[in-house]
Amino acid sequence: MDLNQIRSELARFAKDRDWDQFHSVRNLSLALVGEVGELAELLQWVDDKEMSYFLESGGRERLGKELSDVLLYLVRLADVADVNLSSAVIAKLEENSVKYPVEKSKGNSKKYDQLG
């Protein structure tokens, strides 16, 4: 699945339903936060050591749904704000490999501005 395919699928979906009027940048940001909240709620009582069991007993499918909801709002938000998400992602991947050189960040989770 290509980011651009999802984008055009969602644009058509909104247009068919006359939803462009609701899809402002801030409306979609709050909608995205709402979906992230559902993701958090799904995982809130699942301790690290229970995660495998949770995923195998139905949790994986539910997690896939929540992640998709977040992704769909994210892609739609980018589209509405005229952000080229593919280009932005490529640029960010490059930025990250500069910020986190293998030799300095190997095996530690420090933020780039706290790397020695």
When binding is defined by CB under 8 A, the residue of 58, 82, 113, 114 that contacts a second copy is 82
Contact code string over 9-48 relative to a second copy, x by CB under 8 A: x---x--xxxx-xx-xxxx-xxxxxxxxxxxxx-xxxxxx
Answer for which of 58, 106, 113, 116 binds a second copy (CB under 8 A) is: 106
83 forms part of the interface with a second copy (CB under 8 A): yes
Q: Is 99 in the site for a second copy (CB under 8 A)?
A: no
- Count of CB atoms situated within 10 Å of the CB of 73: 22
Quote the distance between the C-alpha of residue 92 and its chain's center. 14
Cα 7 to chain centroid distance, Å, stands at 14
